[in-house]
Chains A and B, each alone.
Chain A
């Protein structure tokens, strides 16, 4: 799994964890224990495992919401754990995030929500005006830019969230249970959208509990249990009967 010796720069590797251990002060058992994994550019990876297996910690560490107790994490050419505070925004601009609860701003329109992600990193008004309709079109919300989030269905709201995560063209899209609040049909639509985004060359890393989605997609599956990687299959299923 660990492809050591490869230089991070100009390699296809987008995410690399090397013997990463994360201990929380309040727990005796590490949330992640000596985890090493490599994810290449353009891969679509499911991160599965029961609650408390370390999935959230995995994502938090990638975003530098937290730092590992031991080990190194690379996103593209950035050494995440050793990144100085002032350069953390640069890391996060390369990572898009989608959550189970959408996290849209209820006082802004659909277009406003997507534009917000560009405005707060200082993009010009002209860029915003050009890019926002493009990405809304991509996620299938053309013509809904002026709607408020509460006027949309759950699936549509998640599309807005995906549009916001993708609008700055990140290297990686992290999706934490993106279908957790959606019915199976809508979930399927969201997966198709994530697949479309993956086809643009964006690496997608999705944490999920949804068996049927993992089984139907037949993509790489990394399974965590008690902080260890217990399985890493390139065309895996959720693991029925486990």
Chain B
């Protein structure tokens, strides 16, 4: 295989259809940029879930009479509830928070606000704070075990609050993937079209190649490599776009909630993790499309 020859053919091919090549590169870049955004969203969702599984608890609030009487969960009602919870396999740990502790945390949360002055320790319930080791079924199990029991006021699942955040991130992911698919179809058609145009403009060359007995590799490889080059260049531009997008846009958008620890930040390392995936997708789509086009539409 004469690599210098193939490289030269690829280069002339790309230069000859320069407008088409640029269109193809840009479409591929946008498509892969969206795929990358989707992947980053998935990664952020995963990490946010991890972040919260460490922190999120199910709270079993106790009735006011139990709350007032028991400061360390030593009385019968509370210990019974506690051991019942601890017996559940989905439960990792149970911690008791009495009225005084609840009041202190409340004061800290609403420090400097008028609300802080309105509340007395007696108006807050004591809670059994349950840490789960099984996020899927744990909350339901805790609810079943405690609802309607003596001394239980209500059960609060913090994940219900967080779920809305996940819904939002999941929505972002779905929309970007949806757009990416549409763009990918456009990129696919453009690649196919470019290969056909490229083959047509070089039909004399290809005709001569066939006549003098060049193998299929020699006649088709330049077209395939052309497609792959544009796919890879598109992927690289997409990665560049993600980096720029991170610094110009995502960082600012998320700055508030990231610094509060609500959502983990999108790191450059995440983009580095995404980039080889994008390059591979770009190269794979381009080569498969190119090959299929050559087989189906171009008689070489």
Contacts and interface: CB of A to CB of B under 8 A. Distances in A.
Interface of A: 63, 86, 88-97, 103, 105, 116-117, 119-125, 164-165, 168
Interface string B212-223: 111110110000
B208 A168 contact: no
B214 A121 contact: yes
A91 B204 contact: no
Nearest to A119: B5
A93 B208 contact: no
Given A121-B218, A122-B1, A122-B2, A116 B213 contact: no
Contacts of A89: 213-216
B294 interface: no
B211 A92 contact: yes
Contacts of A105: 204-205, 208
Most buried by A among B207, B208, B213, B219: B213
A97 B211 contact: yes
B208 A116 contact: yes
B8 to A, nearest CB: 9
A103 to B, nearest CB: 6
A230 to B, nearest CB: 29
B210 interface: yes
A120 B207 contact: no
Nearest to B202: A105
Contacts of A164: 208, 212
A63 B211 CA distance: 8
B102 interface: no
23 contacts: A63-B211, A86-B215, A88-B213, A92-B212, A94-B213, A95-B213, A97-B211, A103-B208, A105-B205, A116-B205, A116-B208, A117-B208, A120-B208, A120-B209, A120-B214, A121-B218, A123-B2, A124-B2, A125-B2, A125-B4, A164-B212, A165-B212, A168-B213
B212 A103 contact: no
Nearest to B207: A103
Given A86-B216, A89-B215, A105-B205, A119 B210 contact: no
A201 to B, nearest CB: 20
Contacts of B207: 103
Given A63-B211, A92-B213, A168-B212, A103 B204 contact: yes
Q: 5 closest A-B pairs (Cβ-Cβ)?
A: A93-B213, A92-B213, A120-B214, A89-B213, A117-B212
Given A97-B211, A103-B204, A105-B204, A120 B216 contact: no
Contact of A90 (B5, B208, B213, B218): B213
Nearest to A123: B2
B2 A119 contact: yes
Interface in B162-212: 204-205, 207-212
B218 A122 contact: yes
A105 B1 CA distance: 22
A117 B5 CA distance: 12
A69 B215 CA distance: 25
B218 A120 contact: yes
A146 B45 CA distance: 64
B209 to A, nearest CB: 5
Contacts of A120: 5, 208-209, 212, 214, 218-219
Interface in B253-296: none
Nearest to A106: B204
Contact of A93 (B2, B212, B216, B219): B212
A91 B4 CA distance: 25
Contacts of A123: 2
A49 to B, nearest CB: 23
Contacts of A95: 213
Interface in B136-153: none
B208 A121 contact: no
A121 B208 CA distance: 11
Contacts of A103: 204, 207-208
A30 to B, nearest CB: 24
Given A120-B5, A121-B215, A168-B212, 4 more contacts: A89-B216, A95-B213, A103-B208, A116-B205
Contacts of B216: 86, 89
B212 A121 contact: yes
Contacts of B211: 63, 92, 97
Contacts of A165: 212
B295 to A, nearest CB: 12
A62 to B, nearest CB: 12
A138 B14 CA distance: 36
Given A119-B2, A122-B1, A92 B210 contact: yes
